[in-house]
């Protein structure tokens, strides 16, 4: 069954990639160096994040989401925020430790409290 994308490109599947289309301004190498989906999230940070594994990538994207949503450098990493995305408390803790070891994030831990996480750019 043919698939027609929003741009009017016809292909056999929605995952087909067209390489003959002219590049747009956002596809330029200069734009790609600077941000990933939002001006406060750098592409280089996301590339480093993707090398940490799937769970760390999910946790990192949730941290980015809440950072952008709350317009804050530090975000409280509550279990409720991560539960919305199917990430348990234990998975969150393991991923935060690994992301900190890779120097992608930093957080302040207090006994009995949720950590306040900041992204290291």
Higher pLDDT, 40 or 95: 95
Higher pLDDT, 31 or 72: 72
Supply the pLDDT for residue 46. 86
Q: Which helix H or strand E contains 76, and what residues bound it? A: strand 74-76
Domain limits, the chain: 29-119
Largest Cα–Cα distance of the chain, in whole Å? 57
The rounded distance, in Å, linking the Cα atoms of 21 and 112 is 54
At a CB cut-off of 8 Å and minimum separation 6, what does 9 contact? 18, 21
Average pLDDT estimate for 36-61: 85
pLDDT in tens, 79-108: 999 999 999 999 999 999 999 999 999 999
Backbone angles phi, psi at 105, to 5 degrees: -135, 165
Please tell me the class of the 29-119 domain: mainly alpha
Half-sphere exposure of 29 (CA within 13 A, CB side): 0
């Amino acid at each position: 069954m043919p698939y027609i994308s929003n741009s009017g490109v016809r292909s056999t599947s929605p995952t087909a990639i067209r390489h003959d289309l002219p590049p747009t301004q956002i596809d330029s190498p200069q734009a790609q160096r600077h941000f990933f989906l939002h001006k406060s999230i750098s592409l280089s940070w996301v590339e480093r994040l993707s090398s940490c594994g799937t769970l760390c990538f999910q946790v990192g994207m949730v941290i980015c989401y809440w950072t952008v949503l709350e317009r804050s450098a530090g975000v409280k990493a509550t279990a409720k925020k991560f539960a919305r995305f199917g990430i348990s408390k234990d998975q969150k803790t393991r991923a935060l430790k690994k992301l900190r070891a890779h120097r992608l994030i930093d957080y302040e831990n207090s006994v009995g409290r949720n950590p306040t996480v900041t992204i290291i750019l």
